[in-house]
Amino acid sequence: MTPRFAFPQDTGRPARLLLCALLCLAVAGTPRADESAALELAEIGFFEGGVDQDPPEWGSPELADSFERDHVRYIYTMLNLKNNLWQQREQDVRLQVRYYAPDGSLFGDPVIEHRVPADWEYADLWTGWGWETKSHWESGPYKVEIWDQNQGLIAQKKFSITPAKNVPVPSATAGVNLDRMAFFAGDEGNEGPPEDWGDSRLRNRYAQEDTRFVYTLVSLENLQWQQREQDVVIHLRYYLSNGELYANPIIDYRVPADWEYAELWNGWGWSSAGKWKRDRYRVELWLDNRRKIGESHFEIY
């Protein structure tokens, strides 16, 4: 069995979205055709792991609802789905998995996309959200909602992140202030922003037919300058003019103690031009996905 992996279209920092699908052999049973619910959720579970983590077997103690903070990297959501179009036709599955933080804010929203063959009676699909390294998660209860493109909300379940035993949990708020922010366009894997903040390539309007990635550049004042290094995590929330969340790339960087200011960036887009919607976009900066520290706008015309 060969898992399938997909990653988000953001660059500049390690990807946080992991997606894989496990082939499940058909077992004896009676097929049921229900066009309004072509997939039926049978079971949902959570497991912790690193990048490209394979899932455990159902019933394994690795599937849990509580995880110790200092041992957590990614939290994966694993779904067992009954295929109600078994032995009839293949179908394309698109599920959005929404992770909500302890304060109720949207923490992450990876998407599972997979073509389920007609000869699968059941399918195990999973995706995860988190970090490549440990100790980034905030302690508390998290809610996960599963949204189907046809049926809407089909399930929800909670898991919790618990503090490390006998170890004080450091503040989740990094010691930085926003100095300024700007936008620049480029290719996937852009080498970096203009060196001069007055460069004409830093602008707020882009032609749709010429635009691939739009990067957000931030200058941060390091409040821990000459004291200690710190991990800075900023969620860049790209919104359409109607308020819909369009993209959520993440800046994740360890800022050295000898940097008085840090210039960091990340972007969202496509490898080819012409795919952006013509609209006015709002980009919000959320430190540790908990505190908004700034926003600005750009336009695709």
Q: What is the pLDDT of residue 10?
A: 33
Q: Are strands 10-11 and 261-269 parallel, antiparallel or unpaired?
A: antiparallel
Predicted confidence (pLDDT) per residue in 7-16, tens digit: 333 333 333 3
In terms of phi and psi (left: phi > 0; alpha: psi -120 to 50; beta: otherwise), the region of 87 is: left
Q: What is the pLDDT of residue 202?
A: 94
- Name the β-bridge partners of 10: 268
Q: Is there a contact between 233 and 273 (Cβ–Cβ < 8 Å)?
A: no
Q: What is the pLDDT of residue 132?
A: 87
Tell me the domains of the chain and their CATH numbers: 10-162 (2.60.40.2550), 176-300 (2.60.40.10)
Q: What is the pLDDT of residue 214?
A: 95
Q: What is the pLDDT of residue 165?
A: 58
pTM, two decimal places: 0.48
CA atoms within 13 A of residue 157's CA, in its CB half-sphere = 17
Query: Which residues of the chain, if any, have pLDDT below 50?
Result: 1-36, 166-173
Q: Give the angle 264-269-271 at the CA atoms, nearest 5°.
A: 110
